[in-house]
Amino acid sequence: MAEPRPPVRRRDLEAVEIDLLAEGIYEAYGFDFRRYSRPSFRRRIWRRVEAEGLSSISELLARVLHDPPCMQRFLSDLSVNVSAMFRDPAFFRVFRAKVVPLLRTYPFVRIWNAGCSTGEETLSVAIVLKEAGLYDRTRIYATDMSEATVEQARTLTYPINKMREYTANYIEAGGTRSFSEYYAADGERVMFHPSLAENVVFAQHNLVTDRSFNEFHVILCRNVMIYFDRVLQEHVHKLLYDSLTHFGVLGLGGRETIELVSHRDAYVPLDETARLYRKVA
Amino acid sequence: MTTGCGIVAMGASWGGVHALGVVLAAVPADLPAPVVIAQHRGEDGPAGLAPVLGRRSALRVVEATDKQAMRAGHAYLAPPGYHLLVERGALALSTDEKERFSRPSIDVLFDSVASAYAEEAIGVILTGASDDGAAGLARIRHSGGLTVVQEPATAERRRMPDAALAAVNAHRILALDEIAPFLVKVCAEGGP
């Protein structure tokens, strides 16, 4: 007769619960979090457990399965990539100096802002291109896995109390106009000028489960893949590679490295510090 | 029951650059565990802290890169504007909301350390004018790890060690210059 197995330890139980949650969501809803970076995924799970007034991950699993609005809330948690306009101003300075001149050589420019969250980065790029006189021949595809997040991005509205930070970022990023020209205040919110979104297509797209949908001259996917494990990073890098034109530019977050990815040899740095790479093979 | 020395996690705020310098300068290159550090600093501050600390230390002090493998003999600093987290053997970054007005957050780092390393974790709270780190240190304690708090009287700002001591029955309360020798001893002997 088999010996009874010793009880599993608490942290192993937690790992089991996380696996079951990811598996359950995948089976029931098709969203695939099974290869999300575990430390961040775990943290966001516990935040949702607490926000729902629950006490365990298993309880959250039961609730997301039986209560689709709870799944939507959890999806919003997982989708929101806390961002700021002109976050990492040095990146946008380099973008102006090194990417914009490349784009001038194209008659028409397609940019993919992959994982656009609520649109802060998308509008930052739109502003840079406006100021460079390139916006009218550009189309920016801004995608996020959450329809609710994309819907929020489409409103072009942000809390007014963020404008001080965004203005400082804009100036540090090399902006030369008055940042307030780009938005109109309305109580506690501001709305950015609709002309900034004229050539922006906001759409739902899931980097994990959806395919490439076009070829782009620039893909920005910054601080999105930090939420994925290395296997999933590899998968998404292939998708991005397949979606870039030859000599297209890939922009990553400032603390991401392309060195761990098998496509690294297909790129040369356009600016290593800004994590801007050119596809050359 | 602590079993020593899988990882050393340190959290510091106000006065932390000096305090970390003192600790890191006294840690030998053959410390058998990687060191991970959350030091509060400005979002867009210069990325010059790693070389400053590295010059004084036998460890290789670097700013963390996402999914980087951790190695003994290295100290990994949370980059400004990111939370640093760990899983077993590797670093992870996030840009989630600030916690207690901080990103990097000591609580976020320590919570991930407790989850990934349990009784093999050592958590150290140094000087700071913040309550950050107290909850994280409690998580390390609760998961069976070893907890160390800088003696508040030796801290440039004592609020953070005081908050940690209010939250945790710490294993050791040590003067700044006693911390590195204690870590070396624990890692050599496999227990406090």
Q: Which domains does chain B have, with CATH numbers?
A: 7-186 (3.40.50.180)
pLDDT in tens, A149-179: 999 999 999 999 999 999 999 999 999 999 9
Residue of B66, B84, B87, B109 to mutate, testing the A interface (most A Cβ within 10 Å of its Cβ): B66
Length of chain A: 281
pLDDT of residue B190: 64
Q: Verify whether the Cβ–Cβ distance B63 to A255 is below 8 Å.
A: yes
At the second CATH level, the architecture of A89-279 is: 3-Layer(aba) Sandwich (3.40)
Nearest-angstrom CA–CA distance, A7 and B79: 39
Where does the pLDDT of residue A83 fall: very low under 50, low under 70, confident under 90, or very high at 90 and above? Answer: confident
Provide the H-helix boundaries in A89-189: 89-94, 100-103, 120-131, 147-154, 163-172
Walk along chain B (192 residues) and give the pLDDT tens digit of each residue: 456 689 999 999 999 999 999 999 999 999 999 999 999 987 655 568 999 999 999 999 999 999 999 999 999 999 999 999 999 999 999 999 899 889 999 999 999 999 999 999 999 999 999 999 999 999 999 999 999 999 999 999 999 999 999 999 999 999 999 999 999 999 987 655
Instruction: Output the six-digit token pair for A147.
Output: 């329809």
Alpha-carbon span A111 to A135, nearest angstrom: 11
pLDDT band (50, 70, 90) for residue A44: very high
Non-local CB neighbours of A94 within 8 Å, separated by 6+ positions: A271, A273, A274, A276
Q: What is the pLDDT of residue B42?
A: 77
d(CA A48, CA A69): 13
B77 in helix, strand or coil? strand
Say which residue, B189 or A226, is predicted with more confidence: A226
Catalytic residue set of B: 13, 40, 132
ipTM rounded to 2 decimals? 0.91
Sheet holding A189-192, edge to edge: A157-159, A189-192, A183-186
Q: Identify all chain B residues contacting A223, using CB atoms and an 8 Å cutoff.
A: 93, 95
Write the secondary structure of A2-43 as one string of H (helix), E (strand) and C (coil).
CCCCCCCCHHHHHHHHHHHHHHHHHHHHCCCCCCECHHHHHH
pLDDT score at A53: 98
Give me the mean pLDDT over the A45-49 stretch: 96
- The residue behind tokens 């695939």 is A32
CA A191 → CA A89, A153, A258, distances in Å? 22, 11, 36
Q: Give ∠ CA A80-A272-A108 in degrees, rounded to 5.
A: 70
CB contact B96 to A (< 8 Å) = yes
Report the alpha-carbon distance of residue A143 to residue A151 in Å, rounded.
11
Where do the CATH 3.40.50.150 domains begin and end in chain A?
Answer: 89-279
User: Measured between CB atoms, does A144 come within 8 Å of chain B?
Assistant: no
